[in-house]
C-alpha cells in the first residue's frame, strides 16, 4: 500500500533507547500511555493516514522495526478511537516482539553452542595428534585475548579471536608426524611442507560458517610485518590485525616453552626478543600492548584455564 509518504528518518540514538522512529513531516501527536515504550501517533500534513512505530531490539541493539499503518479518513472527534486502536495494536506488537526477541536469543545461543562444539571437536583432534600443539594452542589463545583486551576489542571480537587462535595450528593435522616431531633442524623440503599448515588450517575451518570471516587468523599468523612471511607475503597493515596479534602470542609461547631441541627462555628474554623484532617480524603496536600487559598485570605464563573478555581457554 502506498501513501506517497515521506521516507522514514531513522533516529538511531532514540531507537536504541526504545522510543519510536521518526517521520520528518508528521505534525499531529497524541500523548500515549507512558508505561513501557513511549507510544506516539503521527499523521502526515494531508491527514490521509496514521503510522506508529517502535524498535525491535536484541539487548541494546535495534535489529528491526514494528509498526502500524491506519487509514486516516476520520473526523477530529473520532481521533480518540483511532488512538485507542493504536494503543491496543502496540500492546499486541509489544507481545509479538518480546516473543521474537526470545526466539532470536534462543537461535543465537544455539549457533554459539554449535560453533563452540565445532571448535572443541577440532581441539580434541589436535590433542590426539600432539600434546605440545594442544597446550601451545591454548596458551596462544590466552595471550591473544590479553592483547586484544588491551587494544580495546569488544567482548565478541575477543571471543572469536580466542577460539580461532586456539586453532591457529590446526593445519598441522595435515603434516606428516615424522616432520612435526623432528627434534633437529628441518631440511629445506621439510620446511616447505611445514609452511603449508596455515593454508591447510584455513581450508579446514572454511567449513565452519561462523569462522569464515576470520580465516585470516589461521592463514596469516606466520606473515611478517616486513612482508617476508608466508603463505601470502603480506606486509604491514595488509596483515589482518587479529593475525598480527596471534603472531606475537605464538612466538612468545614458543620461546617460553621447553622443546626437545632447546630449553625455554625466561620471560624477560622473550619480551626483549619481541621488542628487538618490532617493525620487522612483528607489528609494533601489538608488541607494545603485549609488553604493557605482561609488565602491569598478574599474568601466568603458560596458563591453561583463564577467562578473558568472555573467552574461556
CATH number of the domain residue 296 falls in: 1.10.3210.10
Answer yes or no: do 95 and 144 share one domain. no
Is pLDDT above 80 for 202? yes
| Domain count within the chain | 2
For residue 189, is it within any domain?
A: yes
pLDDT tens by residue, 142-188:
999 999 999 999 998 998 899 889 889 888 888 888 888 787 788 99
Residue 34 vs residue 118, higher pLDDT: 118
On whether the CB atoms of residues 201 and 210 are closer than 8 A, the answer is no
Answer yes or no: do 70 and 163 share one domain. no
- Find, among 225, 257, 254, the residue nearest to 241 by Cα: 225
pLDDT tens by residue, 208-255:
777 788 899 999 999 999 999 999 999 999 999 999 999 999 999 999
Residue 305 vs residue 104, higher pLDDT: 104
Instruction: Return d(Cα 53, Cα 93) in angstroms, integer.
Output: 10
Answer yes or no: do 63 and 179 share one domain. no
Answer yes or no: do 149 and 287 share one domain. yes
Domain span including residue 240: 130-312
Answer yes or no: do 93 and 167 share one domain. no
How much is the average pLDDT of 105-133?
57
On whether the CB atoms of residues 25 and 3 are closer than 8 A, the answer is no
Answer yes or no: do 189 and 281 share one domain. yes
For residue 292, is it within any domain?
A: yes
Which set of grid coordinates corresponds to residue 64?
A: 528491526
Is pLDDT above 50 for 19? no
Instruction: Return d(Cα 23, Cα 50) in angstroms, integer.
Output: 11
Report the mean per-residue pLDDT for the chain.
71
On whether the CB atoms of residues 156 and 307 are closer than 8 A, the answer is no
For residue 115, is it within any domain?
A: no
For residue 121, is it within any domain?
A: no
Answer yes or no: do 167 and 298 share one domain. yes
Answer yes or no: do 149 and 255 share one domain. yes
For residue 44, is it within any domain?
A: yes
Q: 291 falls in which pLDDT band (50, 70, 90)?
A: very high
CA distances from 82 to 1, 35, 47, 68, 312 (A): 19, 19, 13, 11, 53
Answer yes or no: do 138 and 188 share one domain. yes
Answer yes or no: do 156 and 98 share one domain. no
Answer yes or no: do 53 and 165 share one domain. no
Asked if the peptide bond before residue 231 counts as cis, ω within 30 degrees of 0, the response is yes
Amino acid at each position: 500500500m502506498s501513501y506517497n509518504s515521506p521516507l522514514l528518518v531513522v533516529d538511531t540514538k532514540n531507537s536504541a533507547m526504545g522510543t519510536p522512529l521518526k517521520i520528518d513531516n508528521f505534525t499531529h501527536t497524541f500523548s500515549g500511555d507512558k508505561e513501557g515504550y513511549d507510544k506516539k501517533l503521527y499523521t502526515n500534513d494531508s491527514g490521509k493516514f496514521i503510522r506508529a512505530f517502535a524498535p525491535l531490539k536484541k539487548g541494546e541493539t535495534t535489529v528491526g522495526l514494528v509498526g502500524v499503518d491506519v487509514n486516516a479518513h476520520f473526523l477530529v472527534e473520532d481521533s480518540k478511537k483511532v488512538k485507542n486502536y493504536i494503543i491496543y495494536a502496540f500492546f499486541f506488537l509489544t507481545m509479538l516482539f518480546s516473543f521474537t526477541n526470545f526466539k532470536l536469543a534462543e537461535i543465537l545461543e544455539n549457533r554459539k553452542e554449535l560453533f563452540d562444539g565445532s571448535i572443541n571437536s577440532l581441539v580434541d583432534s589436535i590433542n590426539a595428534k600432539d600434546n605440545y600443539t594442544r597446550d601451545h594452542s591454548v596458551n596462544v589463545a590466552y595471550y591473544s585475548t590479553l592483547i586484544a583486551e588491551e587494544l580495546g576489542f569488544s567482548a565478541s571480537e575477543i571471543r572469536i579471536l580466542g577460539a580461532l587462535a586456539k586453532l591457529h595450528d590446526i593445519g598441522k593435522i595435515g603434516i606428516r608426524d615424522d616432520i612435526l616431531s623432528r627434534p633437529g633442524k628441518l631440511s629445506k623440503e621439510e620446511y616447505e611442507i611445514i609452511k603449508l599448515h596455515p593454508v591447510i588450517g584455513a581450508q579446514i575451518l572454511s567449513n565452519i560458517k561462523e569462522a569464515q570471516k576470520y580465516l585470516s587468523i589461521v592463514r596469516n599468523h606466520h606473515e611478517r610485518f616486513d612482508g617476508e612471511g608466508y603463505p601470502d607475503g603480506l606486509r604491514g597493515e595488509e596483515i589482518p590485525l587479529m593475525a598480527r596479534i596471534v603472531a606475537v602470542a605464538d612466538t612468545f609461547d614458543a620461546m617460553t616453552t621447553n622443546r626437545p631441541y632447546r630449553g625455554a627462555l625466561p620471560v624477560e628474554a622473550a619480551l626483549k626478543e619481541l621488542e628487538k623484532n618490532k617493525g620487522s617480524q612483528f607489528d609494533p603496536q601489538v608488541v607494545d600492548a603485549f609488553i604493557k600487559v605482561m609488565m602491569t598485570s598478574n599474568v601466568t605464563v603458560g596458563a591453561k584455564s583463564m577467562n578473558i573478555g568472555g573467552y574461556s581457554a
